Structure 1
Amino acid sequence: MSIKYKVVERGQPGVKGGGTKKFYANVVNDGEYSIDDLVKQIEKFSALSEADIRGVIIALENVIQDALAASKIVRLEKLGTLYPTLSSGAAASEKEFQAGLIKKVGVNYRPGKRILDAMKSAGFEKA
């Protein structure tokens, strides 16, 4: 397997007119891998039925949603870690800060070592 890339030209950030332009690699996504695709692959490597696998995936999704909404870090061992994030406007003091200043809520993902190792060992292919 290899990660596909294309070469793109980019200017210097913050420099009017882009400054000195250089060329960088940019990942080219080669389609998607859906839940259906995952279920079919998992079914090949386990004794679980398609319905069982789908049930586990749906339950996992629900448990992760609840945990993140409760401000928990979700550690999926070798898969990685999910954790809630937010950004907000500023207040002059802690006392003046109100939840209404929170502008955006999100989730960050930090891949596990096994996934990082797989990515590092993947080859590269120019698209």
Structure 2
Amino acid sequence: MSIKFKVLLRKNPQDILAPEKFYAAAIADGETDLEKLAELISYQCTVTEADCYAVLMSLEHNIISELNEGRIVKLGRLGNFQVGLSSEGKETAEEVTSSVIKKNRILFRPGKKLRTLLSTLTYRKAS
């Protein structure tokens, strides 16, 4: 298997005045939702599909709850989730308040097996 990519003409976000260049962009080849993951997992063990789905839904609920409390969620070999943010720079520490936060996001740091996957991928240009 290989990852499909397409070619896109884009501006350089570091220098928007620079001429546009062509870049490769990955193309998703479908999607897998929690129901499909539950089905796949149930075929690989003795747990029913419904039980797998219930556990995955509970996992999602608890990841959200723990991130909301500001905690890092460590999922063992899978990786870690954490809230990250970007803010405006200020001259003094006292000037830094929640009002200078510009953007927030969920950070995911993959575990070793997921990082290794990236070094084994092959790519093919979509036709």
The TM-score range, normalised by the shorter chain, is 0.7 to 0.9
Q: What aligned pairs does 1:26-37 form with structure 2 within 5 A after superposition?
A: 26-37=25-36
Q: What aligned pairs does 1:1-127 form with structure 2 within 5 A after superposition?
A: 1-10=1-10, 12=12, 13-14=14-15, 16=17, 18=19, 21=21, 23-127=22-126
TM-score (norm 2): 0.80
Distance 1:95 1:74, change over 3 A: same
Equivalent position SS for 1:46 = coil
Structure 2 contact 6–26 (Cα < 8 Å) conserved: yes
Identity of aligned residues (%): 34
Alignment: residue pair count: 125
Identify unmatched segments of 5+ residues in structure 1: none
TM-score (norm 1): 0.80
Work out the CA distance in 2 between the residues paired with 1:16 and 1:43. Answer: 53
Distance 1:24 1:55, change over 3 A: same
Deviation at 1:18, TM superposition (A): 0.9
RMSD between superposed Cα atoms in Å: 2.3
Work out the CA distance in 2 between the residues paired with 1:100 and 1:110. Answer: 27
Identify unmatched segments of 5+ residues in structure 2: none
